[in-house]
Amino acid sequence: MAALSTDYPGTDYLIIGAGSMGMATADWLARHSDASVQLLDAFSPPHEHGAHHGETRLLRQAYGEGSSYVPLARRALKLWKQLEEESGETLFQPTGVVNVGPPGAPFIAQVEASARQHGLALDSLPGDQLARRWPGWALDDTLHGCFEHEAGVLFVERILKCWRARVEHSPRIALATGAQVIRLEAGEQGGWVAICADGQRFGAERVLLSSGQCIAPLMAGLGVDLPLTRVRKTFAWYACDARYAQDHFPGFSLTTPSGAIYYGFPDIEGAGFKMGRHDSGQPLESGEAMAAFGEHGDDVSELQQVVDRYFPGIGALRHGAVCQYIRTPDEHFLIDEPLPGLIVAGGFSGHGFKFASALGEALGIWIDQQRRLPELALFGLARFSSLEGSTQ
């Protein structure tokens, strides 16, 4: 144990934020390291205050956000299936995923390019053929679709519960819930110290900061400016007919002719047809309360107009919810070590969870072996040239 002071408990590693990335990293460390680890979370995961609630996330490999993600996506799928086998839980539903948009739209073009580059199975077909294949769509040949057979749906809250159960069985890992970190300081004898709102202090030689909206404020207190912004997002569930059952309808992304981007899920286990909008949203400050679903003027209408246009078998709105995205300016992740021994992992919202199994492995290797895997090169802080010289 690397105790930094007699005034507070010290461990080898400290993970601040026990959500998707923090818990995945702790799970990897529990199985591959002899180090002692302290996890801190302001709430009790899984919860609704981060980016891992809402039941489901899409898992794709032919990636519209860039071909560089594909090796990470492939590794993640292997690890998801391994976790499913080890836990005995259903964590992944192979529904397939179809990406729909105008022919030549950048997202669709990148999906097809990713599939070609990495040899992924992908069916490309015009919208009218897609609608014949899945009658739940109302499409014509002005739109185009790419169907990925091996894609599907992850059950996020089940996954967090599995990780938490495994972590809590490890004698080397401690999870403290209700531990709201309000400040980070350099340790008197090296390493870093986290100070909580209730006065508790935790120290470690190496730290992973993966606490979503709190990352930027905590790093600002150390003189490091990170380009992370917070956005309020909405999603909703609808009544639907049998065309949208999980055995008959895939997960999807939809780029409309105007360029708006939506995503959705079939009716899984009777939950209803689920849909949200990926772009747009309302900016929020860190810690600012989110307005409930329906309190913003566009909450219902921005989803309903798409339901009315493209999904003929969708019925009444059942209920809606809100969540938050934490984004970087280019919407790629931010994973780096801006100060020695202090790794930050953020900017995942919108498309990060599907990679959590592989990123937990990569972050575990980085914190434990001080080795950065090449798959993480895309996500470094140096790509934001305006931040050069911002660390002290």
Is the backbone peptide bond immediately before 217 cis, with ω within 30 degrees of 0?
A: no
pLDDT over threshold 90, residue 2: no
209 with 271, same domain?
no
Confidence band for 53, pLDDT divided at 50, 70 and 90: low
Instruction: Quote the CA–CA distance of 264 and 90 in Å, as a whole number.
Output: 20
Confidence band for 48, pLDDT divided at 50, 70 and 90: confident
Average pLDDT estimate for 157-168: 96
pLDDT over threshold 80, residue 8: no
**Distant-in-sequence, close-in-space partners of 187: CB < 8 Å, separation ≥ 6:** 4, 5, 193, 203
The reply to whether 53 belongs to the active site is: yes
Q: Which domain holds residue 129?
A: 97-149+229-327
pLDDT over threshold 90, residue 99: yes
339 with 192, same domain?
yes
Instruction: Name the catalytic one among 274, 277, 327, 332.
Output: 274
Residue 84 lies inside a defined structural domain of this protein: no
206 with 268, same domain?
no
Confidence band for 44, pLDDT divided at 50, 70 and 90: confident
> What is the model's pTM?
0.93
Confidence band for 55, pLDDT divided at 50, 70 and 90: confident
C-alpha distances (whole Å) from 167 to each of 27, 28, 49, 174 are 6, 9, 21, 8
pLDDT over threshold 50, residue 391: no
Confidence band for 125, pLDDT divided at 50, 70 and 90: very high
Summarised one tens digit per residue, pLDDT across range 324-381 is 999 999 999 999 999 999 999 999 987 899 999 999 999 999 999 999 999 999 999 9
Between 54 and 16, where is the model more confident? 16
Residue 42 lies inside a defined structural domain of this protein: yes
pLDDT over threshold 60, residue 79: yes
The pLDDT value given to residue 16: 98
Q: What is the CATH number of the domain that holds 274?
A: 3.30.9.10
Average pLDDT estimate for 70-88: 96
The pLDDT value given to residue 392: 35
Q: Which secondary-structure segment (H or E) carries 159?
A: helix 156-168
C-alpha distances (whole Å) from 273 to each of 36, 136, 153 are 43, 11, 13
The token pair that represents 345 in the structure block = 């992992």
pLDDT over threshold 60, residue 158: yes
Average pLDDT estimate for 45-49: 76
The pLDDT value given to residue 92: 97
Instruction: Quote the CA–CA distance of 231 and 163 in Å, as a whole number.
Output: 27
The reply to whether 274 belongs to the active site is: yes
Residue 359 lies inside a defined structural domain of this protein: yes
Count of structural domains, the chain: 2
Instruction: Name the catalytic one among 201, 230, 277, 278.
Output: 278
Instruction: Name the catalytic one among 60, 158, 230, 354.
Output: 354
Q: What is the CATH number of the domain that holds 218?
A: 3.50.50.60
Instruction: Quote the CA–CA distance of 338 and 380 in Å, as a whole number.
Output: 9
Residue 183 lies inside a defined structural domain of this protein: yes
305 with 234, same domain?
yes
User: What's the whole-number average pLDDT of the chain?
Assistant: 93
pLDDT over threshold 50, residue 6: no
Instruction: Name the catalytic one among 49, 57, 144, 332.
Output: 57
101 with 192, same domain?
no
Q: Which residue has the tokens 């986290």?
A: 194
The token pair that represents 117 in the structure block = 């580059």
Instruction: Name the catalytic one among 164, 230, 323, 332.
Output: 323
Instruction: Name the catalytic one among 11, 49, 52, 56.
Output: 56
Summarised one tens digit per residue, pLDDT across range 252-274 is 999 999 999 999 999 999 999 99
217 with 249, same domain?
no
The reply to whether 328 belongs to the active site is: no
Q: Which of 327, 355, 370 is the last residue of a domain?
A: 327
Confidence band for 387, pLDDT divided at 50, 70 and 90: very low
The pLDDT value given to residue 130: 97
Average pLDDT estimate for 225-241: 96
The reply to whether 166 belongs to the active site is: no
pLDDT over threshold 80, residue 297: yes
315 with 196, same domain?
no
The reply to whether 323 belongs to the active site is: yes
The pLDDT value given to residue 286: 87
Confidence band for 3, pLDDT divided at 50, 70 and 90: very low
250 with 322, same domain?
yes
Least confident of 49-53, 132-136, 227-231: 49-53
